[in-house]
Every structure is written in C-alpha cells, then in structure tokens.
Amino acid sequence: MNVKLIGFLPNPEKMPAMAAKLTHSKIKPEDLDKSSDKELKAILEHVMNQGHTSVIEHTCFTFAISDVSRSLTHQLVRHRIASYAQQSQRYVDFKEPNYVIPPKIAKNKQMKEAYEKTMNTIWEQYNKLLEMGIPAQDSRFVLPNAACTNVIVTMNARSLLNFFELRCCMHAQWEIRQLANKMLKEVTKVAPIIFKNAGPMCKSKGICPENKEDCPLYPK
C-alpha cells in the first residue's frame, strides 16, 4: 500500500481559522486575510478545543492511494462526503495477476500457497475470457475483491476526522485501518492543529463505542 498527500491549500489551517474569526467579528470576509498568523492559530486552537469543527470543512486534502484491494475501496466509498476517482477495470489492462494477500494468510505457508493458486486460476480464466472476445467490462466479473486498484481521494478536514474516528479504531478491518493511519500521518504534518487529537474515538473523545475493555487502546 502506498499513500501520498498530493493536494492541499498552501496554508491548510488558515482558511478554517479565518472562517472561525468571521463568526465573531465585524470584519468583512475579504479583510480577514490581514489577520496575523499568530492570532489565526490561537483562534483555530480555541475552536478545535471547543469541538466546533464546522469551520474546518473549508480546507480539503487529496490523497494518491495505490496497491490496495477492491475490498478496501468498497469500504472507503461508504464515506460519502468525499470525492473519488478509481482505476477502471473496464479500460485498464489487468492481464497480469496483481492482488493483496491478507497478513494472516501470508504468515501460513500452506494457506499462502492455496491462496496464490486460487488467484492464478482466476487470472487464467480472466485472460481466457478476454481471448474469447468477451469485453473487459464483462470479463472483470471473475476478478476477486483482492484485486489491486488505485484511487485518488479528496476529503475536507471534518470528514477526515470522522473517517479517522471510525477507521483508525482497532476493531476496523485491518487494511482500511492501515490506510487511515497512513493518511492521518500525512495530514498531521501539514495541519497539526486540526489533527492534534485525531484518531480512533478513544483518543479523540475518550470513549469506546465498541465498549471493548480488552482493547489495548481502551480509555482508562
């Protein structure tokens, strides 16, 4: 899995801070950019501590994500306040096997061999269908959830906070949890105030919606 932050505002925390200042100021919106960076930083820290996160919808982040499974992207698109562009199985050549192996299968030699044999059989049948003149859009029906794909994702900061609460959780599926943690690491570098307390709900809100006391992250 590869995750790279490829798009965001030059100062991703400035616009949310200006929006926050606007709500309690007589200053016209067009004059807000005259505020000092120190003042805007203090305002943003205050509203984030208060949990007033609507203002951070004014900043967005775009990620390039590659070599993840179709199983992951089926989960990812359930987060509706986002924009997605995914590699098409209709127009891209998938003749060579390319798939994700779950860690529990990869650790077991016998399981791994059986898994890889199954994948190779699937791709053989996929290629046979193509050779028979079946369109790629129909031949792809035999491809598995494990098939690798690439996607570009754009989310605003508020949606990302929600995404991290749900998907950084230890009880989230392993692949999307790995993705969420990589995305969180990327955005924290450029927007440390917004994502200071981001992560699973046990970190962001101090509660465990799963009520799993055996979890190593369970709030004490």
Residues labelled catalytic: 167
Tokens of 171: 């009880």
The string of DSSP codes covering 178-215 is HHHHHHHHHHHHH-TTTTTT-SSHHHHTS--TT--TTS
CA distances from 149 to 70, 127, 129 (A): 6, 18, 20
Phi, psi values for residue 197, rounded to 5° = -110, 20
| Cβ pair 215, 198 in contact under 8 A | no
Residue 23: how many CB atoms within 10 A of its CB? 11
| Angstrom distance (rounded) from CA 185 to CA 219 | 22
Alpha helices in the chain, H assignment, sequence order: 14-22, 37-50, 70-76, 103-106, 109-131, 136-139, 157-167, 174-190, 201-204
| Helix, strand, or coil (residue 53) | coil
